[in-house]
């Protein structure tokens, strides 16, 4: 008998049983309002659901560093018949996590991809101004957005949308840049952030609020396996080939840099692996 058979079968059974779990409609945890002077963190989400998928670090910043997290709905998906429903689902997810929510347009921005950037410059410029306006209004200390090769055309488009908006900001504007990955792995992440069981469970519950999407493809049930695989990748990418893996169960990879003097600069040298027991905002130089 293969001793790993039961181990693998347990994973398959959990995913199968997970299909009967409720989608949304679970009482959210108690929320603590951020302090009046709390640092603001913006998440520029290409689609409704990205705020949950890459949100492990942002959730810890809110819960452990008292940050005010605002999710910016760059688009509301490409299916116009679903855009308002997806907004409602997104609001439910953000409410559950305690994230605030910002619209970019009544139905979200349309055609946010590099083809529009090159072939529809007026349309693109208007979208860039919207993002720059949000940056100016919120004055975020950190912003989350996809890296430049995250495969999906809207993820890649959102990267360049945010970078173009940064170019419109005054020279004294600065913030930390936290680039995210989902559809394609980054070649050069420099931060791995561990998430505990409670945080992952909360992210999955919020993700399940995107009912129409997870009914189509129950990717919320496979997200824990992705978070575990990030530990495998992160151990070698950040710790060095052949290095000893950290004792993390779940983690998300990011590339943290900073915008200063109208350019992208390194935020620190080397790499960082942030455990559950470490202060997550220390990577930005914030103190408790």
For residue range 120-160, what is the model confidence (pLDDT) as tens digits?
999 999 999 999 999 999 999 999 999 999 999 999 999 99
Token reading at 5: 């058979």
pLDDT the model gives residue 243? 83
pLDDT the model gives residue 32? 86
pLDDT the model gives residue 16? 97
Chain-centre distance for alpha carbon 237: 20
For residue range 25-44, what is the model confidence (pLDDT) as tens digits?
888 888 889 999 999 999 99
Let me know if 210 is exposed, middle or buried by CB neighbors in 10 A (0-12, 13-18, 19+): buried
CA separation for the pair 235, 173 (Å, rounded) = 34
pLDDT the model gives residue 28? 87
Instruction: List Cα–Cα distances, 27 to 6, 87, 271, in angstroms.
Output: 34, 20, 38
Task: Return the CATH fold of 37-279.
Answer: Rossmann fold (3.40.50)
pLDDT the model gives residue 234? 97
Listed as ranges, residues in the chain with pLDDT below 50 are none
- Domain extents for the chain? 37-279
pLDDT the model gives residue 15? 97
């Amino acid at each position: 008998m293969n001793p790993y058979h039961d181990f693998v079968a347990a994973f398959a059974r959990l995913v199968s049983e997970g299909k009967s779990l409720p989608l949304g409609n679970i009482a959210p945890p108690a929320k603590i309002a951020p302090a009046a002077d709390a640092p603001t963190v913006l998440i520029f989400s290409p689609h409704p659901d990205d705020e949950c998928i890459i949100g492990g670090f942002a959730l810890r910043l809110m819960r452990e560093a008292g940050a005010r997290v605002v999710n910016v709905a760059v688009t509301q998906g490409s299916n116009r018949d679903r855009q308002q429903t997806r907004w409602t689902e997104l609001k439910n997810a953000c409410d559950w996590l305690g994230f605030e929510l910002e619209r970019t347009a009544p139905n979200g921005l349309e055609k946010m991809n590099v083809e529009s950037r090159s072939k529809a410059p007026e349309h693109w410029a208007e979208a860039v101004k919207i993002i720059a306006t949000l940056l100016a209004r919120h004055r975020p200390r950190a912003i989350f957005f996809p890296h430049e090769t995250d495969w999906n055309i809207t993820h890649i488009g959102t990267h360049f949308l945010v970078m173009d908006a940064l170019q419109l900001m005054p020279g004294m504007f600065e913030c930390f840049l936290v680039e995210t990955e989902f559809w394609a792995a980054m070649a050069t992440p420099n931060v791995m952030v561990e998430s505990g069981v409670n945080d992952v469970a909360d992210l999955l519950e919020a993700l399940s609020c995107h009912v129409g999407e997870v009914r189509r493809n129950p990717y919320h049930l496979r997200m824990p396996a992705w978070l575990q695989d990030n530990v495998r990748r992160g151990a070698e990418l950040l710790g060095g080939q052949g290095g000893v893996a950290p004792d993390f169960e779940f983690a998300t990879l990011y590339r943290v840099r900073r915008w200063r003097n109208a350019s992208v600069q390194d935020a620190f040298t080397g790499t960082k692996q942030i455990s559950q027991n470490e202060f997550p905002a220390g990577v930005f130089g914030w103190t408790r």
